[in-house]
Amino acid sequence: MIRNFKRTASILGVVAAGSAALVACGDSATDGASSSNGESSAAEGDLSGTSGELVAEGASSQQNAMEIFGTTYAESVDGASLAYNPTGSGSGRTNFVAGQVDFAGSDSPLSEDQVAPATERCGGNEAWHLPFVIGPVAIAYNLDGVEKVNLSVPTLIKIFKGEITNWNDEAIAAENEGTELPDQGITVVYRSDESGTSQNFQKFLATAGEWDGEGQQFPNAIGEGANGSNGVATQVKNVPGAITYVEYGFALQNDLGIAAVDFGSGATELNAENVNVALEGLEFKNEGHNMVVDTEALFSQTQEGAYPLVLTTYEIVCSAGYDEDVQNRLKDFLTVALNNQDALAEIGFIPVEGSHRDRLVEAVAAIGEGA
């Protein structure tokens, strides 16, 4: 029996992490799972009701979202479940290409040398990147008595380069007229581990101005390092005057100040409305339903009201080539995820809406057609 079930923003769930099942494109994730009723979940809200376990692996940045989606999926389709193992984007992509999981969660697209093996894994069909989970990056700070801080991108670059070292620097003061800024040193806190967040933040800084760093390792010449997203957020919370870049949810959990960023058209607050303005302007490196985001175009957006400093994390799926049960489970899960976006708001993700949501709905409906 199918239960169309709309969850509220207070849902929290626990998803089984990991599975030993091997999932080739033509094989089900769970041997002996109940078979399909023969229908495909072809449209928004239209579920096939196929039971069994859907197996996925990948980015830890998606873990909390997958817990919510997995819980709602299990409550929407009798006998269905998601096993998502948050081992990291690289492992997720590797095991997707190897046919060991049904789909991968990833902060980054498949590498060039993975595209052809992924096509082979998908039975000769293209692998699609679906930007499902939108995680904005907050510029988070700890500044006692200062409720709001505006920072332009050039000022941000100077702070993270160590060229601006005090909160009452004239450059910061000029962007915060009427705010009494303390004579307090700035402590830059960065991710000491390799991180997709560091990689994307550096891409953003390089797109917007003069920044020499690249890759998943943030430069360690300035400031203090901490391991993981929770690590940098906790470090900022414990160090007066500290600042970092971190996923929005961790800034919220630690009750940190969140700067409004001037991307070129005035200080813009981080909220769902402003992130979705940026998502409306997404450009892709591919045509059709394979939506590899052009991050340079995203990060260079300057239109009024847009907050483009976001991680557009992917679900990497086969456009076709699954057996019927696996395909139906995947389409059911993704449909449920799209229909229950509101639950993401309280944990720091941005519910997708508008044209970007429409793109995802169309792509999910097209899985199995291979185009």
DSSP for residue 77: B
Distance CA 189, CA 309 (A): 18
Name the amino acid, one letter, at 301.
Q
Distance CA 60, CA 83 (A): 13
Q: Tokens 């960065």 — which residue?
A: 190
Give the predicted TM-score (pTM) of the model.
0.77
pLDDT tens for the 371 residues of the chain, in order: 433 333 333 333 333 333 333 333 444 343 333 333 333 334 455 899 999 999 999 988 888 899 999 999 999 999 999 999 988 888 999 999 999 999 999 988 999 999 999 999 999 999 999 999 999 999 999 999 998 999 999 999 999 999 999 999 999 999 999 999 999 999 999 999 878 788 899 999 999 888 988 888 899 999 999 988 889 999 999 999 999 999 998 899 999 999 999 999 999 999 999 998 998 889 999 889 999 999 999 999 999 999 999 999 999 999 999 999 999 999 999 999 999 988 898 888 999 888 899 999 999 999 998 55
Is 319 in contact with 121 (CB distance < 8 Å)? no
For residue 210, the tally of other CB atoms under 10 A from its CB is 10
Classify domain 137-274 by CATH architecture. 3-Layer(aba) Sandwich (3.40)
**CA torsion sign, 63 to 69 to 75 to 79?**
negative
Residue 43 region by backbone torsions, left for phi larger than 0, else alpha for psi between -120 and 50, else beta: beta
Distance CA 199, CA 319 (A): 28
Q: Structure tokens of 5?
A: 């079930």
Q: Which residues pair with 246 in a beta bridge?
A: 138
Backbone dihedral angles phi then psi of residue 359, each to the nearest 5 degrees: -60, -45
Strands 150-152 and 310-318 turn out to be unpaired
Q: Tokens 């505006």 — which residue?
A: 150
Is 240 in contact with 146 (CB distance < 8 Å)? no
Distance CA 30, CA 297 (A): 41
Is 103 in contact with 330 (CB distance < 8 Å)? yes
DSSP for residue 292: -
Distance CA 360, CA 331 (A): 11
The domain locations on the chain are 137-274
